[in-house]
C-alpha cells in the first residue's frame, strides 16, 4: 500500500469517526432537538453521491470511508426522525 492510499484511509477514519460521538450522545439522551433534519438529509444525499463516485472510480478508501459514514449519518437521521 502506497502512502497516498494510506493517507486516504487515515482521512476516512478521521472524518467518519467524527460522527460517532454525536450518534452515541443521541442514543444515550434520546434528544435530537438541536440536530437539523434538513442538514442530515442533504449530508446523507451527498454521501450517497460520494459513494457512487468512489465506486465508479474504484477509489476504495473513499468508498469505504463514505460507506461507513453513510451508516452513521443514516443512523443519526433515523434517530432524529424517531426522537424529533
Q: Which residue has the cell 454521501?
A: 47
How many Cα atoms are found within 13 Å in the side-chain-facing hemisphere of 20?
Answer: 7
CATH dotted code for 3-83? 1.20.1280.290
- The pLDDT value recorded for residue 72 is 93
Question: Measured between alpha carbons, how far is 11 from 33 in angstroms, rounded to an integer?
Answer: 30
In the 8-state DSSP scheme, what is residue 1? Answer: -
- The pLDDT value recorded for residue 76 is 93
Per-residue pLDDT of the chain (84 residues; tens, 9 = 90+): 799 989 989 998 999 999 899 999 999 999 999 999 999 999 999 999 999 999 999 998 899 999 999 999 999 999 999 988
- The pLDDT value recorded for residue 84 is 80
Q: Where do the structural domains in the chain lie, given as residue ranges?
A: 3-83
Amino acid at each position: 500500500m502506497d502512502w497516498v492510499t494510506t493517507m486516504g484511509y487515515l482521512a476516512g477514519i478521521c472524518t467518519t469517526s467524527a460522527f460517532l460521538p454525536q450518534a452515541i450522545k443521541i442514543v444515550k439522551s434520546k434528544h435530537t432537538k438541536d440536530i437539523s433534519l434538513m442538514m442530515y438529509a442533504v449530508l446523507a444525499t451527498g454521501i450517497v453521491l460520494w459513494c457512487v463516485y468512489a465506486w465508479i472510480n474504484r477509489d476504495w478508501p473513499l468508498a469505504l470511508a463514505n460507506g461507513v459514514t453513510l451508516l452513521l449519518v443514516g443512523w443519526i437521521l433515523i434517530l432524529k426522525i424517531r426522537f424529533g
